[in-house]
Structure 1
Amino acid sequence: MERRYASHPQEVKQFDTERLRKEFHIPVLFVPDELKLVLTHEDRMIIGGAQPVTQEVQLTTDLKELGVTYFLERRELGVINVGGAGTVTVDGTSYDLGTKECLYVGQGSKEVSFKSNDSAEPAKFYLNSAPAHLSYPTAKTTLAEADSSALGDIKNSNERTIYRFIHADGVQSAQLVMGMTELKPGNMWNTMPAHIHPRRMEAYFYFGLPEDAAVFHLMGEPDETRHIVMSNEQAVISPSWSIHSGVGTSNYTFIWSMAGDNKRYDDMDPVSIKELQ
């Protein structure tokens, strides 16, 4: 498991492109028959991916890093499948996950594994894990069952649908909040006007991008913005003090996940476009 440290905003002002990417950008999450994990010290979130092809992939790591005897002893897990159909098995119970379906796995679950239904079209399980102080039941959510809302319009290039899976009014968790935003064709902007939420960090995972397309992910303090160029199936860490917005050369979909002091999706401090620099 790779480790990333928290960064102070005054320090980040001095970063060049290489350093920004080293600290915040996660370029590879899916490797056949492997589990990839990145632990950030921003609220101790773990961001990962599992791509089982010819065999099952187990949720495990160097447990000394977490100070526990099994992965979810003091953690919870959110899983969204962005590939072909697959199965997540939790302590002997199997959950089928189609594309863009979500599974929440509660604290105390001891054995978790991932499997693809068809090796020719393998599942790709995007993972987020946060520390947990309470145990909630494992629960699956589909797109049809998610709390969704349509926002934006084509005139502002931000017509999109937001799906909330794990949140205060949906699947319950100790602190993890997780959902997905789909931009319609012809739309490129997300989360603009921007906002921050100093009480929670966030991670974005961009997917559904053509190979020759990119998303310019905006980050930094509102008066000291920076950007990171993102390709398909890459993730980025957003500290609690940073804006998190983006514009693509094509439409795309992204998964957002948060951890911190509360589970309120609408707990945001808005930033007007005129404040950005």
Structure 2
Amino acid sequence: MKESALQHLLTDGERHTFETTGLLVVEDALSPQQVAELTQATDRIYAARLASGGDPKAALFHPNFIPDDPLFQELVDYDRVLPKVWGILGWNIYLYHAHLIVTPPTGQAPDNKTFGWHQDSGRVNREIETHPRPRLSLKVAYFLSDVSMEGRGNFWVVPGSQLSDSLPMPPDGVGQPDGAVPVLVKAGSAVLFDRRLWHTASPNWSDVTRKVLFYGYGYRWIRTKDDMTVQSLWPNCDPIRKQLLGFGETCNGFYTPQDADVPLRVWLREHSPGEAE
């Protein structure tokens, strides 16, 4: 872990924003060069999908993309953003889910149909007996395309809804829930959001192809959400990235971790003791 991460710890204001709204926007998290290089890597994956017969108007949902390029691996423990993640969830975390999305223009005119609103994690929301539902995880969305205007396949949210177990929908499937807003951010922005936040994708009615990388962090005792084949990366990882890619010394170490299981905690003890509790 780079010591520069200490310059990007979660501030009290950021914590308040996240706790209140369920999301946090980090503008210019990626440099223009990073955006360009990550876009090239993403475009290669999308081109391969089209070459194999994919529909050029259909969105690409590509899970398990971390092994596809070293650039994607660099964001697993990215010093400008990971401190925000551990500031919210703590140090017993790993990347349990990752997916890349490319949303080309639909070529259709805008309409007012209700989008596909949901909370993440599927059965978790039915099978854990608490209210409000537990946070458990969050996602970081790195935007490689400019979605600062509505209609570009924007991610929509209802700020503050992470504490609500249900979300009333408009009648007849027309319009969006009360309080719904599109997330409007520039390329290079990172958006952290609570898995419980009611959110949805939307159609891309623009002429700009939307490209986003999603990194899902959760507690180490949570199972992976997709078939992540990251074990082959472990030999070339430093200890903290290895933790974040799912390594553990023993099965029990995911529940009762020792130092060898969680080098992130060891690093925090030395560099930011207050966050190693």
TM-score (norm 1): 0.39
TM-score by length of 2: 0.39
Q: Which one has the largest radius of gyration?
A: 2
Higher relative contact order (CA 8 A, sep 6+): 2
